[in-house]
């Protein structure tokens, strides 16, 4: 995984985001998609909110996806494997970049057709622990015209990321970004690496 980690880090340092397309093997990707869909079909997801517990507002005009927080204690083998790879990345970041990451959290997200998440940052106004954001795409397939692209805004340009299954994107949690309206069911696993 060393090269994968380095590609993500160098991308972030050089252009503001890192991206790799083979974070998991195709078997692991299929397993994780199945895990997401099992939990979704068991009605374990809920409407995503904005902000954290002190100022949770359900504003469907800003985001209208559905989420499920991964819980390491009840994670299945596919989910554990994913979380272990993230832990490997955290260790690498801390050792090579003194990133000071203490823990991380992940949620599955399902964007049904017509869902979006308007421009935002992932760092809360009243809690700046989120340092880095990771988004891993899990849809069955993605083709041009399917929508649901991730837009990353820097001072002078906007980058469009296609949510291709198996792709992992890595950026600072204070970078403004947006998910444009998806025209298909869009599946992902999104997480945050946090300082103390």
By a kind-dependent CB cut-off of 5 to 8 A, residue 79 interacts, out of ligand OGA, Mn ion, none, with none
Cβ within 8 Å of residue 123, ≥6 positions away: 130, 173, 174
Nearest to 176 by CA among 147, 133, 144: 133
- 40 and 68 Cβ atoms separated by less than 8 Å: yes
How many other C-beta atoms lie within 10 A of the C-beta of residue 37? 16
Among 24, 179, 187, 193, binds ligand OGA (CB under 6 A): 179
**Which CB, 68 or 117, lies closer to ligand OGA?**
117
Give, in degrees to the nearest 5, the angle at Cα 164 between 138 and 88: 60
Separation between Cα atoms, residue 145 and residue 138, nearest integer Å: 17
182 contributes a contact to ligand OGA by CB under 6 A: no
Among 63, 122, 147, 182, binds Mn ion (CB under 5 A): 122
The 76-105 site mask, x for binding ligand OGA (CB under 6 A), equals: ------------------------------
Q: Which of residues 116-155 bind ligand OGA (CB under 6 A)?
A: 117, 122, 135, 150
**Which CB, 45 or 78, lies closer to Mn ion?**
45
**Which residues in this chain contact ligand OGA in the complex, by CB under 6 A?**
109, 117, 122, 135, 150, 163, 177, 179, 188, 190
């Amino acid at each position: 995984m060393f090269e994968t980690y380095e590609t993500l880090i160098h991308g972030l340092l050089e252009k503001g985001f890192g991206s790799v397309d083979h974070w998991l093997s195709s078997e692991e990707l299929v397993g994780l998609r199945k895990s997401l869909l099992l939990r979704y079909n068991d009605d374990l997801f809920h409407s995503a909110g904005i902000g954290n517990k002190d100022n949770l507002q359900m504003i469907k005009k800003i985001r209208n996806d559905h989420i499920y927080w991964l819980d390491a204690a009840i994670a299945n083998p596919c989910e554990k494997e994913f979380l272990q790879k993230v832990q490997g990345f955290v260790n690498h970041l801390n050792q090579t970049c003194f990133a000071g990451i203490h823990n991380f959290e992940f949620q599955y997200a399902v964007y049904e057709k017509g869902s979006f998440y308007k421009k935002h940052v992932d760092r809360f106004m009243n809690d700046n622990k989120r340092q880095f954001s990771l988004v891993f795409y899990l849809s069955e397939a993605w083709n041009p015209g399917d929508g649901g692209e991730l837009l990353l805004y820097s001072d002078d340009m906007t980058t469009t990321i296609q949510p291709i299954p198996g792709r992992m994107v890595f950026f600072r949690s204070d970078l403004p970004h947006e998910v444009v309206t998806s025209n298909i069911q869009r599946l992902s696993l999104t997480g945050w690496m946090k300082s103390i």
